[in-house]
A and B are shown apart, each in its own frame.
Chain A
Amino acid sequence: MKLRVTDREGHDHEIDAIEGWRVMEIIRDHAMQTPALAIKAECGAALACGTCHVYVDADWVDRLVPPTAEETERMEEDVFALEDNSRLSCQILMTEELDGLHVTLAPGSEP
């Protein structure tokens, strides 16, 4: 299972994904080897910060479970450069159906 992540410099990384893990956790796990993938995620998926903000590739937006009201509210409060395809990557769970999911690290997600 793969996840495609575009870093904040515009470079693409194809990384191994793990079913059931949060996209944020998968990116964070790979950031140890690939510093360009470093993601702040300071609240640790408590939906308290907005520092794991990503843009979801247009092809994938509708294939994700839509954001909860709490995620939407957190993004509206805490995320700069909010777009229609914005998501908090800690709220996207990796599943077989999302094999190949493409996200881009948003400004404000850098550590």
Chain B
Amino acid sequence: MTETQAQGETAHRTDVAIIGAGPVGLFAVFELGLLGIKAHLIDILDRPGGQCAELYPEKPIYDIPALPVVSGQELTDRLMEQIKPFSPVFHLSQMATDIAKTETGWRVTTDMDVAIDAKAVVIAAGGGSFTPKKPPLKELPEFEGKSVFYAVRRREAFAGKNLVIAGGGDSALDWTLDLLPVVNSLTLLHRRDDFRAAPHSVAQMRKLVEEGKMKLEIANLKGLEGENGQVSALTVARADKSEDRIPCDTLLAFYGLTMKLGPVGALCEKLGIALENNLIPVDTEKFETSVDGLFAIGDINFYPGKLKLILSGFHEAALMAQKAFHYVYPGQKLRFEYTTSSSNLQEKLGVK
């Protein structure tokens, strides 16, 4: 019990913990806020917005009510502005790894050992956690975490290595420039001689290649050689189909992100919720799961007639908040009010 207590001392306390800071998680802050409910949000990305921010920040969305066209980033920015009066707390760049019942409600824990105690939990995790996209190579798992990595946790871990960095985006280029001084040798491997990273980093990289300080290889990664988890070379195919080997002892792959359900699915199952096609079944009155106080809204839930639309998630957030109120304020009566006429709501929104 001492361990629990020790954690309890450092745990955040709030009314509702929301897993996922995409558009639906953000709007849930608004609907909860109107009812006087505070919220903390957890997200694996380093910024709010979910798919809107990560997958299609510049893509236009045409089906948000009253916004004939809005980009994913603009929608995120507007939601952030809308929920500002409620001062939500964000726990970013981390993944919820445990959802457990406590005597007073719930505790959500993250992979960064952040604990949040709340009266209710809302899963708004969309398509799941964004995780590094991996090349589909059979031999990959034996090397992962030993000599193949998808992120840099400690720069020093790459000291003296013969490193290949794969990818053409900002992560690949930034780490190329950052790690070059500490490694023994560095090769940047990209599928084509065109980079979507910031132009000044690309220019800097090309200069280093010209000066012979690093190598640039334009080819497709085809396989890994090595044993016992230690990579010794990469096999690659060039545009003319010729194969080649790049000797190295470490690979850092930055192929972007993809969505995986992640621990949330297993946590739901542990709580006795049977997933349907990796989606969380909820009722259509409160968008609550079969477990009291645990809600699921947005793309991650399932009910007959479900449509994966942002606007459906917004609606689900409003109805969820009505029920969550009773977990946060047991025994209290919930008055239904409009923002147009309620001075109480306008005060919460900071309207003068």
Contact = CB atoms under 8 A, between A and B. Distances in A.
Interface of A: 40, 42-44, 46, 48-49, 51, 76-78, 80-82, 107-108, 111
Given A43-B55, A77-B168, A82-B220, A51 B258 contact: yes
B229 interface: no
A27 B168 CA distance: 31
B191 A82 contact: yes
Contacts of A48: 55-56, 59
18 contacts: A40-B258, A42-B55, A42-B258, A43-B51, A43-B56, A48-B55, A49-B55, A49-B258, A76-B192, A77-B168, A77-B196, A78-B255, A80-B220, A80-B221, A81-B136, A82-B220, A107-B136, A108-B136
A43 B55 CA distance: 7
A80 B135 contact: yes
B64 interface: no
A107 B168 CA distance: 20
A46 B258 contact: no
Contacts of A76: 191-192, 194
Interface string B227-261: 00000000000000000000000000001101100
Given A42-B259, A78-B255, 14 more contacts: A43-B56, A46-B55, A48-B59, A49-B55, A77-B168, A77-B196, A78-B133, A78-B256, A80-B135, A80-B220, A80-B255, A82-B220, A107-B136, A108-B133
Interface residues of B, number: 21
Interface of B: 51, 55-56, 59, 127, 133, 135-136, 168, 191-192, 194, 196, 220-221, 255-256, 258-259, 278, 308
